[in-house]
Structure 1
Amino acid sequence: MLNRRSFLSFATAGAAAATLPVALSGMAHAEDKTRPAPHMMPIPADAPNVAILIHPGMVALDLVGPLTVLTILRCRIFLVWKDKSPIATELGFSVPPTHTFNECPNDLDVLLVPGGTIGTIAYMNDPVVIDFLADRGSRAKWVSAFCTGSITLAASGLLNGYDATGYWALTRFLPLMGARHVDQRVVVDRNRITAGGTTAGIDCALVIATKLKDEEAARRVALILEYSPQPPFHNGTPAEAGPERTQKALEHRKGRDAEVEREAMLAGQRLGI
C-alpha cells in the first residue's frame, strides 16, 4: 500500500517522465551524478539497463509511452542508433539518440524495439541494425518489441521459433521469418515479450516492469499514469472494427505493406527459413 510520501515521490517522477525533453535530459546525464536533471529522481546503481532502438521515421508514440513507463520505473535508458544525429519522428519533431550502437552496453536487461513502418522497411535488412539487434538480443535478459518493431525484431532472427505478435496489419508476415503469430495484445514466450500496435507499447512496458521488478511496482506506474483506457468506441482491432473497416484500412496500406512483405521474404531467405 502506498503511503503519502511514497505516492508523492512516484507522482513527481511520473510528472517529470511525462515531459520527453526532461526525460531525455535525465537519461543523457544518467551516468553523470554531478549533473542530475531537474525534477528527476537519481538512477540507482543497480538500475536495469534498457536499450531502446530509435530510427528515422519511427512513430513518436511508440517511444513516448514505453519510455515514460520505464523512466518512472527508474531504469537506465539508452536510446540507441547508428550515430547521434537527431532522429526525425513521423510527427516532425526529432529525438536525439543518447548512445551509438558501439556505446550501448553489451549486456542488457531489456532490448526494446518500437515501430514505424517506414523505418521497418528501411532497416529490417540493414546489416548494421540487424547485427546490433542479434548481438545484444542474444544476451539480453528480456527481448521485446511491439507495433512494426516486432517485424524488425523477427528480421534479426530473434523471434524464430517463438510465439509473437505485432501491428495487426503486418502480423501475417511474422511466419515468413520463423515466428508463430498469436492473436493477443501482449505475448510472452520465454524471454521474448511482443505486443500489438502503437498504444500496446504501454501495455508491453508494464509487462516488462513486472519482469524487472514485480507486479506491485508495475501497478504503481499504472496508477501514476492513470492508465485506465476508456475509448469512446471500440475500433482498435480488426475484430472490433469489422471486415469492412478493416479492408478499407488495408487498402490504404497496400503499397507499404507490399514493401514489408518483400523485405520479410528477403529476411526469411537470409535466415534460412
Structure 2
Amino acid sequence: MTDQPAPLSFGFLVFPDIQQLDLTGPYEVVSVLDAPKTVHLVWHDLAPVRSTTGIVFTPTTTFADCPPLDVVCVPGGVGVNPLLGDAAVLAFLRRQAATARYVTSVCTGSLVLGAAGLLKGVKATSHWSARDLLAGFGAVPMPGRVVRDGRFVTAGGVTAGIDFGLAIIAELCGTEAAQACQLQLEYAPAPPFDAGTPETAPAGLVAKLRARGEAVRREREAFVAGWTDA
C-alpha cells in the first residue's frame, strides 16, 4: 500500500480591520487546489473579527492551538498597525517561521513579518504606499507582484494575493497544479484602466490616495522609527 502524503497545512492570520481580499484572494486559490490540505484562520481567540469592508471572519484556531504550518501567511490592511507591537502575534510568527516551509505575506502583512524580525536581509515587497518602510526592518524593498527570496514569499498590494497564491501552489505542487487553480478560477485579468500602480495612474490620483492614507502611514513610520528586534 502506497503511503499517502500528509495534507499541506496553510495558516492565514486574521485580525480586526484586515483587508478582506488580501485574505480571500489566496484563500480561494488554495481552496480549489486538488490536493489534501488543511487551511487555518489564526487569531488570539475564536471570536469573529470584522474586516475593513464589514465582512466578518471566524478564526478556526488560536495561536496556542495552531499546529506547525507548511505555509504561514500574514495578510495586510489598516489593521496591521496594532499588530506591529503585538507581542503574541510576533511570537506566533517567529515560532511558526522556525519550521514552516514558506513564510509569506500579502500587501502590508510584510510589515508584520518585518516587525517580528523575520526579514533581515530578505528581499520583500508590500503595498506601494508602504514598501519603502520595509527597509526600517532590515529588509530589502523590491517592486513586484510576487517577490521570492528563499522560503520567504511576499506579495504586493491586495489583488497580488491571487498571484501569490498561484506562485505558492506552483512551489508546493508544481506548475500544472497552479495552472489548474488558475483555470478553475478563470483568472485572466484584463482591467479596463491602466491605473493599478503609481507609475501608470494619473499623478493627481496618486497624490489623492497618499493623502487619504496619511494618518495610517504616520503611525507606521513612528513604529518603524522606534523599532528594535526584541
TM tier, shorter chain? over 0.9
Query: Between the two proteins, what is the percent identity of the paired residues?
Result: 38
SS of structure 2 residue aligned to 1:151: helix
Mark the runs of 5 or more structure 1 residues left unpaired by the alignment.
1-43
CA-based RMSD of the aligned residues comes to 1.3
Q: Which residue of 2 aligns with 1:111?
A: 72
Q: Which residue of 2 aligns with 1:175?
A: 135
CA contact (8 A) 1:120 1:260 kept: no
Q: CA deviation at 1:242?
A: 4.1
Is 1:101 the counterpart of 2:59 in the alignment?
Answer: no
**Counterparts of 1:161 and 1:244, CA distance in 2:** 34
SS of structure 1 residue aligned to 2:41: strand
Is 1:271 the counterpart of 2:229 in the alignment?
Answer: yes
SS of structure 1 residue aligned to 2:17: coil
**Counterparts of 1:67 and 1:247, CA distance in 2:** 32
What does the per-residue CA deviation read over 1:119-142, in whole Å, with 9 as the maximum and x for residues that have no partner? 211111110111111111121110
**Counterparts of 2:102 and 2:211, CA distance in 1:** 35
Q: CA deviation at 1:164?
A: 0.4
Q: Which residue of 2 aligns with 1:211?
A: 171
Q: Which residue of 1 aligns with 2:145?
A: 185
Q: Which residue of 2 aligns with 1:152?
A: 112
Q: Which residue of 2 aligns with 1:165?
A: 125
* Greater relative contact order structure (CA < 8 Å, 6+ sep): 2
Map of 1:233-252 to 2, 5 A cutoff? 233-252=193-212
Q: CA deviation at 1:147?
A: 0.6
Give the TM-score normalised by structure 1: 0.80
Number of residue pairs aligned between Structure 1 and Structure 2: 225
Mark the runs of 5 or more structure 2 residues left unpaired by the alignment.
none
**Counterparts of 1:150 and 1:168, CA distance in 2:** 12
Q: Which residue of 1 aligns with 2:94?
A: 134
**Counterparts of 2:120 and 2:87, CA distance in 1:** 18
Out of 73, 80, 84, the residue aligned to residue 42 of structure 2 is: 80
What does the per-residue CA deviation read over 1:204-250, in whole Å, with 9 as the maximum and x for residues that have no partner? 11100011100100000000000001010111111111433222211
Q: Which residue of 2 aligns with 1:28?
A: none
The structure having more radius of gyration, on CA atoms, is 1
Out of 46, 54, 61, the residue aligned to residue 6 of structure 2 is: 46
Which amino acid in structure 1 is aligned with residue 40 of structure 2? F
